[in-house]
């Protein structure tokens, strides 16, 4: 949790700088480049994160890798994370920056679980419907889990809407098990033959 808090703090600092420069999208793309290089190149990640390698060597490598490709302030920001020994959080910082950008742009990430995969047109329809419901642009992240049988499960922030067929079946089963069933004696009495009086 502490790493997440620190990453968020760094991302907020960078985002504030990006707003002043009117470059929030450009900085997001630049941080994505940094995060992708670290994720896809284990040797580079190890080089950045190994304590035995001096900060100046790391900063020189960062300058060579990014100086001609990224905005100057983003490169300086990465160098500061090395000075403060926070370079291992660069991918988390990039993620948190994206979250800040989405908040700023009125977008919300929504996790959607479906029983089967859908085509692009259906995906767009889901996004449109969710956007109307939550009152902002929804960015759906669709996961397929056949075990929910049908319907969908939507999670946004700390709210979950479970409209899966599996949940409805489970609810029905629970209600049936909790229903007050007549006792066996009562059932026998209800079905006992009516005595016919003798003349």
Q: Do residues 138 and 88 share a domain? A: no
Q: Do residues 116 and 99 share a domain? A: no
Q: Is the dihedral of CA 63, 64, 66, 72 positive or negative?
A: positive
3-state SS assignment for residue 150: coil
Q: Do residues 87 and 129 share a domain? A: no
Question: Is residue 47 one of the residues assigned to a domain?
Answer: yes
Confidence at residue 188, expressed as pLDDT on a 0 to 100 scale: 56
Distance CA 178, CA 195 (A): 35
Q: CATH code at 84?
A: 1.10.520.20
Q: Do residues 99 and 112 share a domain? A: no
Question: Is residue 12 one of the residues assigned to a domain?
Answer: yes
Distance CA 131, CA 63 (A): 41
Confidence at residue 177, expressed as pLDDT on a 0 to 100 scale: 83
Confidence at residue 32, expressed as pLDDT on a 0 to 100 scale: 96
Q: Do residues 14 and 96 share a domain? A: yes
Q: What is the dihedral of CA 25, 27, 28, 34, to 10 degrees?
A: 150
Q: Do residues 115 and 90 share a domain? A: no
Name the nearest CA neighbour of 39 among 91, 97, 93, 79: 91
Q: Do residues 22 and 95 share a domain? A: yes
Task: Output phi, psi for 172, to 5 deg.
Answer: -65, -45
Residues 6 or more apart whose CB falls under 8 angstroms from that of 28 comprise 18, 97, 98, 101
Confidence at residue 191, expressed as pLDDT on a 0 to 100 scale: 56
Residues 6 or more apart whose CB falls under 8 angstroms from that of 48 comprise 38, 58, 61, 62, 82, 87, 88, 90
Q: Which regions in the chain score pLDDT beneath 50? A: none
Question: Is residue 19 one of the residues assigned to a domain?
Answer: yes
Q: Do residues 89 and 9 share a domain? A: yes
Q: Do residues 145 and 158 share a domain? A: yes
Q: Do residues 89 and 123 share a domain? A: no
Q: What's the distance, CA 130 to chain centroid?
A: 15
Beta bridge mates, 53: none
Q: Which of 81, 103, 125 is the last residue of a domain?
A: 103
Domain span including residue 171: 107-177
What distances in angstroms separate CA 23 from CA 19, 70, 81, 107, one per listed residue?
6, 12, 20, 18
Question: Is residue 96 one of the residues assigned to a domain?
Answer: yes
Q: pLDDT for 75-114, tens place per residue? A: 999 999 999 999 999 999 999 999 999 999 999 999 999 9
Q: Do residues 96 and 112 share a domain? A: no
Question: Is residue 195 one of the residues assigned to a domain?
Answer: no
Q: Do residues 121 and 75 share a domain? A: no
């Amino acid at each position: 949790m502490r790493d997440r808090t620190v990453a968020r703090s760094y991302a907020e600092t960078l985002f504030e700088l990006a707003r002043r420069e009117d470059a929030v999208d450009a900085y997001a793309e630049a941080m994505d480049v940094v995060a992708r290089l670290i994720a896809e190149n284990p040797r580079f990640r190890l080089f950045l994160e190994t304590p035995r390698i001096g900060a100046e060597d790391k900063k020189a490598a960062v300058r060579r890798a990014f100086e001609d490709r990224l905005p100057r302030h983003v490169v300086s920001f990465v160098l500061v994370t090395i000075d403060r020994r926070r370079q291992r959080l660069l991918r988390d910082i990039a993620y948190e920056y994206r979250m800040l950008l989405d908040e700023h742009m009125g977008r919300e990430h929504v996790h959607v679980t479906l029983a089967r995969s859908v085509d692009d047109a259906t995906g767009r329809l889901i996004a449109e419907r969710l956007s109307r419901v939550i009152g902002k642009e929804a960015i759906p992240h669709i996961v397929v889990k056949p075990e929910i049988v049908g319907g969908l499960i939507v999670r946004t922030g700390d709210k979950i809407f479970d409209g899966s067929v599996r949940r409805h079946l489970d609810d029905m089963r629970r209600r049936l098990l909790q229903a007050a069933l007549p006792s066996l004696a009562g059932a026998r009495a209800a079905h006992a033959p009516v005595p016919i009086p003798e003349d």
